[in-house]
Each structure stands twice: as C-alpha cells, then as structure tokens.
A and B are shown apart, each in its own frame.
Chain A
Amino acid sequence: MKEIKGRVFLFGDNINTDDIIPHRYLILRDNGEIAKHVLENVRPDFVQNVRKGDIIVAGKNFGSGSSREEAVNVLKVLGIETVIAESFARIYFRNLINLGVPALKINDVKKKFSEGDILKISLKNEEIVNETKKVKIQMCKIPKFLVEILEAGGILNKIK
C-alpha cells in the first residue's frame, strides 16, 4: 500500500456527521457540490485550505450521528485519505473502511500531533512518522482482510 503524506487538521471530541456535512446540503445530491460545505460550522475555512493528502486528526467519538455514507464520500472528494481519532462512532468507522479510507485509532492525539504537523503514514509498516516533531508513533495492528479492503479502494471493489 502506498504511503500517505499530508498536513494535520486537528479537531476536538464528538465531531458528528452533521458537523462533517450539515444535513441540509445532502439534497444537492452531487458529492462535489456537497463537499463545498464540509465542516463549515466547525471551521469555516476548512474547505478553502485543505489539500489532497491532508489528514484529519480528532478526539473521541468522531463521526457519531447518522449512518449516511456521504459524510465519508465528501472527505474523499476533498482528497482526505486518512482519519486519525482517539475513538470512532461505530457506523462511521465501518463506513470509512468500507469506502477505502484508513481509520486509525490513536490515544492522546493532542500530545502527539499539532495543527499543521506533516505526517508520513505507512500502513504496511504500521507506523506514523510525525516529520515536524520528528517522532515515530506506532499504530495498532490492522488485520489482513481490512488491509485488503483498503488496498482495493473499498469493499465493493474487493468483492467485484
């Protein structure tokens, strides 16, 4: 699996699916249009500043609320390829993996990452390197068949 390199956007606890994409925009149907409003209530300049490869780092219970998969698809549209959090809401965690986005559970994120840090992530070596802080962070083991889902770019590609 290829390495991921990007900047950290740091968020707090309990960012729910309505924070990620407010419900009122879902009617737009086109993910490209919907994605213009990602996280606008939490951080209005997010969509303007985010670049391909950037990484969301959040606290506890990231993605609680609705089971809508748009809340993952819009992040993919913006080029976000990894989400790190202290914990994920159950269905959101499934949706990330199923749609091919690594969801990495790491404790004490505020001690390990700051806004704008550059991270290099290797799923193969199960390792995150914080290049800005010059430290290595071990991630938990990802089971083989989850790696296969991520490598295929999502579970539907895997079963095709």
Chain B
Amino acid sequence: MKLLTENSGKTIAEKILSEHSSNKSVSPGEFIEADIDLVMVHEQIGGRIHKEYEKLELDKVWDPDKIFFILDHWVPAPSIEAAKMHQDCRKFAKKYKFKHDIGMDKGICHQVLPELGFARPGMLIVGSDSHTTTYGAFNCFSTGIGATDVSVVFATGKLWFMVPETQKFSLKGQLREKVMSKDLILQIIRDLSIGGAEYKSMEFHGDGVKSLSIDSRMTVSNMVVEAGAKSGIFIPDNKIVEWLKGRSISNYKLTMPDDNAVYIEEFNYDLSQIVPVVAKPPSPDNVVPVSELPEIKIDQAFLGSCTNGRLEDLRQAAQILKNKKIHPDVRLIVIPASQENYLKAIREG
C-alpha cells in the first residue's frame, strides 16, 4: 500500500464525497456528513418507513424535488399486503408532495432513473436497494441504504459516510463476440471473492472502458455490490457525454481521478481474454466457465431484471434464438427492464 501524503491526489469517490461534504478534502477512513443530491426509494422501504417518518412529526421533507419514488418490486401487486403497501406509498408521496412519484408503469428503478435523466456525472445518489451502485456507470457515487437512513435523508438531506478506499481496475482490449460485460464482472467477483471489495469503491479505467456500451457499464456497476463494494464508478468518456446529450441533459460535472490518486489495490483485465461464465449456487463468487459445466437439463430460463434486461441483452438473445424454437420442456421468460427498452425492442422486431 502506498502512503498517503498531504499532496496525494484523489480518486473519483473521494472527489465526489469531498464536493458534497463540509470538509473539502476527505481521505479514506474518515467519517463525514455529506449532502445528498437524490434519494431513490421503492415500495419495499417506502411502504415500511411512512409510519416511522410520521413519528418524527415533521410536516415536510427536506426537498420534495430530490426524491425519486417508484413502485417496481411487486408489479402488479401479487397480494393484498403488497397492494396495501402500494396504497400507503401513494398516500405518502402525495402528502409530502414528492415531485418525482414515478408509479408502476415505467419499469425497474435502476433502469428508469437514468433513462429519465436523474443520474448525472458527479452526483451523490443513495437508494433503498443494494444495486443502487448501478449509477456508477454514469460517473456518480451511488450506494444502497436501509430504512432508517432513508428517513434521515427525507428529514435532513444529509447522511454520514465513511470515506471508502478505492480499488483500481484497468481494462484493455475488447470483449469477443457473445461475451458480455456480465461475464467480465462475474470474473472480477470470482477473483475478489464475495467480501473482496468490502466497504471499498471500485473504479474502472483504461482503453477497454471505451469499448463498453453504456448498457454494459450499467451491468458492471450494478453487480459490484456482490463483491461487497460501496460503489463502482466508471471514468467518464465521450460515450457518456453523447448519451446525456441524446437526452438533452446538460447540467453535470464529469469527475476524473487525479493522476496521483492513491489506490489500495490495482487489477488489470484484458477484455479479449474473458470467456462466458456462470455463477453457480449458492454464491455469486462461485463462478466457472460455461465450457466446464456438465450437461444440465434446463427447466426455466430468465432474461431480465435490473442486471440484464437492457436492449443489448435482448438483442444478443434474439440473435442467438433467430430461426430457432424454444424446446417444449423449457419456459423462457423475458422481462425488459423498462418500458423504453420494451418499446425499442419491439421496434427492432
């Protein structure tokens, strides 16, 4: 490990946390209080905290414009309890005048939030879901929080953090055909093991980043939490700028690490060497190449979720299945991650 000196540069996580804290130059291990730019809440926590929040006897939230409220985990409500929770969420959102009460028709939180332009470079975002790390693909510091933390943000707009150490991942080359970024991140999780990034920020660098689409980067940032990471942030590049321009988003600050930033560990990955892999039960780090698996009868296949329901995933599946039929003993379930992805996929046929 390199020694930290006063002149040491900062990683992306350290820079974003510095800019959101009263201490303008934070270091790993330090406890800080930071201003939150946006909090994402879905019904599993929203339905639970409304009673707790009422107990605080506050007649408002800190900023109704900075709350992204969505119903996406039980859609449509599969039980009476879930329907009641949805109802409580709607009343809660209305009472406190949440500006961005998204409802249940747009799709999965981690896909819809960036699509609607709420994830912009340099932001500090928290969410009531462990995969909130997804917005690292957009150069945000974003991480998951629990119910009490959500109440605290609603009341004060601030949260305490321990500034994480950063691991640097340098990517080079390009993924081969039919190899996807899910294979890359599973390989990384296998190499690190489940606790290998505990309380750390993962930072993705190198020419290899440029070859990854925004969809691919989102899958990587989404999964970093499976290695225990607090966030997984990509170096911003032209692809991000173009993506934001395409959605008429202009107010953001691209955050680059300093050249002399201090990393606790550094790893190198050649994307051209990554092969298709599978994580076997019971753990996401129990990863083996597909080629090493014995023949296993498949009862059901699922394509979707916040990790793999994007257009790129649907395209790849369509390419493989083209002119073929699903075996009669197999159920294939496809759920696009958002309405936007679904409509685009329909248009592409």
List the interface of chain A (C-beta within 8 A of B).
Answer: 14, 60-61, 64, 67-69, 87, 89-91, 93-95, 97-99, 143, 145-146, 149, 154-156, 159-160
Contacts and interface: CB of A to CB of B under 8 A. Distances in A.
B52 A156 contact: yes
Given A61-B198, A91-B145, A145-B160, A98 B130 contact: no
A94 B230 contact: no
Given A90-B230, A146-B31, A159-B152, A60 B195 contact: yes
Given A61-B195, A87-B198, A90-B228, A98 B149 contact: yes
Contacts of B57: 160
A154 B230 CA distance: 23
Contacts of A146: 31, 160
A98 B146 contact: yes
Interface of B: 31, 33, 52, 55-57, 130, 144-149, 151-152, 155-156, 160, 194-195, 198-199, 228, 230
Given A67-B144, A89-B228, 10 more contacts: A61-B198, A68-B146, A89-B195, A89-B198, A95-B146, A98-B148, A145-B31, A156-B56, A159-B152, A160-B56
The 9 A-B residue pairs whose C-beta atoms are closest, nearest first, are A143-B31, A98-B148, A67-B146, A61-B195, A90-B199, A159-B155, A95-B146, A69-B146, A155-B152
Contacts of B199: 87, 90, 93
A95 B151 CA distance: 13
Given A64-B195, A146-B31, A156 B148 contact: yes
A64 B130 CA distance: 12
A94 B195 contact: no
A87 B195 CA distance: 10
Contacts of A159: 56, 152, 155-156
Contacts of B228: 61, 64, 89-90
8 contacts: A61-B228, A67-B145, A67-B146, A68-B146, A91-B130, A93-B199, A143-B31, A156-B52
